[in-house]
Each structure stands twice: as C-alpha cells, then as structure tokens.
C-alpha cells in the first residue's frame, strides 16, 4: 500500500494504535517522491491497516492534532508544579494533624480531670456510707 506524500502514515498509525512502537511493530518507508508505505507490520497479531483505515485516521489527526510533546524545560516546570502541589497538600495535612494532636491533648487532660472528679465523688460517697453505717442507717 502506497500513499501520496500529503498523508503522514506514522501519525495515522499512532492514532489507530497508540501503543504500537515505530520501527519495532511497524516500519514506514517513503520513495523519492515522498510516497509512503508500510514496509514492516507486526503489531500484536493485528492485521495490516487498510488504506481506508489509514486515511480515516489521518483525517482524525488533521481534525484533532496530537499535542506537541513538552520541552525538557516545560516538563521540569510541570514536575515542579506537581511537587509544589504535593508539598502544599502535605503542609495542609500537617496542620490538620497538629490540630488533631492539640484536640487529643485537650481531651486527655479533660478526661484526667473528670477521672479526678469521679475519684473525689467516690471518696465522698464512701465517707457518706461510712457515716451512715456508723449511725446504723444503712
């Protein structure tokens, strides 16, 4: 199958089979006039795409071109932005954790105070029962 030079076989195949690896799963060649053809096809037992498949995929590429890959500087910036986002979330979680620790400490102190109050009430009750027993009222 050979097609005129105005169609990009590689882009069309990548649209059809995004996981196919160029020069491994398929090889595209072009003659001196720029006409392209598939010189090798061995992609996961998938049959060789038809000219119609390639043309349809090429039209999709033209209608919705793939994004240009990021430059190394853009990729680094994207990673830095992701890292900043993760660090911000981590800081927010640390603040939440600190607040929870403070609340927990308050509850522990409050619980200890209630335990002391309860012990005092038990002692008062014991004193009252002792007085009642000494006066034969129980």
- Residue 49: inside a domain: yes
Tokens of 78: 């994207």
For the chain, the domain total comes to 1
- Residue 56: inside a domain: yes
Q: What is the pLDDT of residue 15?
A: 93
- Residue 34: inside a domain: yes
d(CA 9, CA 96): 54
CA atoms within 13 A on the CB side of 4: 2
Write the CATH number for 19: 3.30.56.60
DSSP-assigned letters across all residues of 23-36: TTTEEEEE-TT--E
Q: pLDDT, tens digit, for every residue of 11-55?
A: 999 999 999 999 999 999 988 888 899 999 999 999 999 999 999
């Amino acid at each position: 199958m050979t097609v005129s030079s105005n169609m990009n076989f590689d882009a069309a195949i990548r649209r059809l089979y995004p996981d196919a690896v160029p020069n491994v799963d398929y090889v595209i060649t072009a003659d001196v006039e720029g006409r392209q053809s598939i010189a090798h096809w061995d992609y996961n037992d998938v049959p060789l795409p038809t000219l119609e498949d390639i043309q349809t995929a090429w039209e999709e590429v033209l209608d919705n071109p793939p994004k240009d890959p990021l430059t190394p500087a853009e990729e680094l910036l994207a990673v830095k932005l992701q890292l900043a986002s993760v660090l911000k979330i981590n800081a927010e979680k640390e603040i939440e954790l600190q607040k929870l620790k403070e609340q927990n400490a308050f509850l522990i102190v409050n619980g200890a105070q209630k335990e002391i109050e309860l012990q005092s009430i038990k002692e008062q009750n014991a004193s009252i029962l002792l007085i009642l027993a000494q006066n034969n009222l129980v």
